[in-house]
Chain A
């Protein structure tokens, strides 16, 4: 990203913006329409390749995998707002693409894992029927997922509080001879030595970091996706367990491909914008304004959801 020249950066910004505008002005509907039509073909293809596989056609495995990837992809392209959240997060926050990608990928894969665990235990240990298993997904695992999310939230809050209290005291007493110290100005910057004593909320959030985010994803991923459940139940019934498990993971990769593309676009936009407007003071201000607007947009959407969830 550092090597891109300003014209290229302007081009990238324009491109991502144009795509965003297309999405807002009806492109989203068009995409949803296309995805819904494709979903039907993909479902038929999945059934056909499962039957062919069962009939002993090894080439059907390749078909099944591509169909599963397509299923995940169209699933993610279809109606729904998650993509905007990923995009908003990527634009507003200075998250590296790597971390954003891990989050997107882990979320998808975790859902495949929980579908596999549900079907495996459901069939082997409990002898559940299909309806009982999809009900288990809706009525047991969805609330279990919510409970786990709440636990992660509590853990994070406690840890954050510890850090906030512990760090501010420790940092201050260790770094300086207490008597001779100048007063601390707003923002925690020491007036004589110029460095930060108390961690600002940003640092706390950063410290919560990847590990906490992953914990959260795992909690959320407890709830399996319906498509993967259907595939796995069929796989178990038809004695095609391994193919179905591979298919569930491939489906997750298909879903993640969309999220990854959105994450990539968002980070490209953010980096290119920074590059295009250069380093001046006005530029910095503009960047902050964009950051705030993107963040606020996503926050407004999100807080309601989160409140309902927790």
Chain B
């Protein structure tokens, strides 16, 4: 067995790099459902509340809040606004909408804003539906997740419905028991296949998705 001492020591030393460090960013998310005058769903406003460490990294990057009082001037707010709206072509915005499990066509972000409260950056943006949907005809679900799980989203905030008095939104958190068991399995597989999980983390994000469901009285 001693023959293996060298490779084993090598692996043992890999330990600190290997402990899968995901997720790195935590974002509380809420959705506002936007209806038109015919009570058809026209779009959603997404509100992201970033964790304080990521918020600090961003304000430092941009040279904001240099008195560290947790407040931004209006000039600084202007500078902050849109920092997370410069989406790559393939980026789906980490919010996916489904009508009877058919993916909805959501626009790129519009009407964005940013604020800074108690050390947390809060941003909002609107995504319009390419085709309006009658929520009474179909089951509408929005799933919030980053496929790579670099960011962990949680739909723990309040979700609002604007312009449809007999509709309400209901959030359902992911099942941690299932999700973490799944994650462990994927990590086992990846490491058995000789993958460096920190560089190529398995795409487990979807199983960590919280859901927001729109429910309307018929």
* A residues adjacent to B (C-beta < 8 A): 26, 28-30, 32-33, 36, 39-40, 43-44, 46-48, 50-51, 54-55, 75-76, 78-83, 85-86, 88-89, 92-93, 95, 100, 103-104, 107-108, 111, 129-130, 138, 142, 149, 156, 201-203, 205-206, 208, 212-213, 216-217, 220-221, 223, 225-227, 230, 233-234, 237-238, 252, 255, 259, 291-292, 295, 298-309
Contact = CB atoms under 8 A, between A and B. Distances in A.
Contacts of B17: 111, 220, 223, 225
Q: Please provide the 9 A-B residue pairs with the shortest distance between their CB atoms, ordered closest to farther.
A: A82-B15, A202-B2, A304-B194, A47-B52, A308-B194, A80-B19, A29-B180, A43-B53, A205-B5
A142 B26 CA distance: 25
A48 B119 contact: yes
Contact of A82 (B19, B26, B60, B184): B19
B103 interface: no
A80 B187 contact: yes
Contacts of A292: 1
A300 B194 CA distance: 10
A104 B18 CA distance: 13
Contacts of B184: 28-29, 32, 79
Given A82-B18, A103-B13, A111-B17, A89 B60 contact: no
B15 A104 contact: yes
A86 B15 contact: yes
Interface of B: 1-24, 26, 51-57, 60-61, 68-70, 119, 152, 176-177, 180-181, 183-184, 187-188, 191-197, 199
Instruction: Label chain B's interface by main secondary structure.
Output: helix
A233 B194 CA distance: 31
Contacts of B1: 92-93, 202, 291-292, 295
A217 B13 contact: yes
Contact of B9 (A50, A83, A129, A216): A216
Contacts of A138: 199
A156 B6 contact: yes
25 contacts: A32-B184, A40-B152, A46-B53, A79-B183, A81-B18, A81-B188, A81-B191, A83-B15, A88-B8, A89-B11, A93-B8, A103-B9, A104-B12, A107-B16, A111-B17, A156-B6, A213-B13, A216-B13, A225-B21, A255-B16, A295-B1, A295-B4, A299-B4, A305-B11, A306-B194
A36 B23 contact: yes
Contact of A26 (B4, B181, B193): B181
A302 B12 CA distance: 9
Which one of B9, B69, B119, B176 has the greatest number of beta carbons of chain A within 10 Å? B9
B8 A299 contact: yes
A230 B53 contact: yes
Contacts of B6: 156, 205, 208, 212-213
Contacts of B194: 304-309
Contact of B12 (A46, A47, A103): A103
Given A33-B180, A149-B10, A205-B2, A230 B191 contact: no
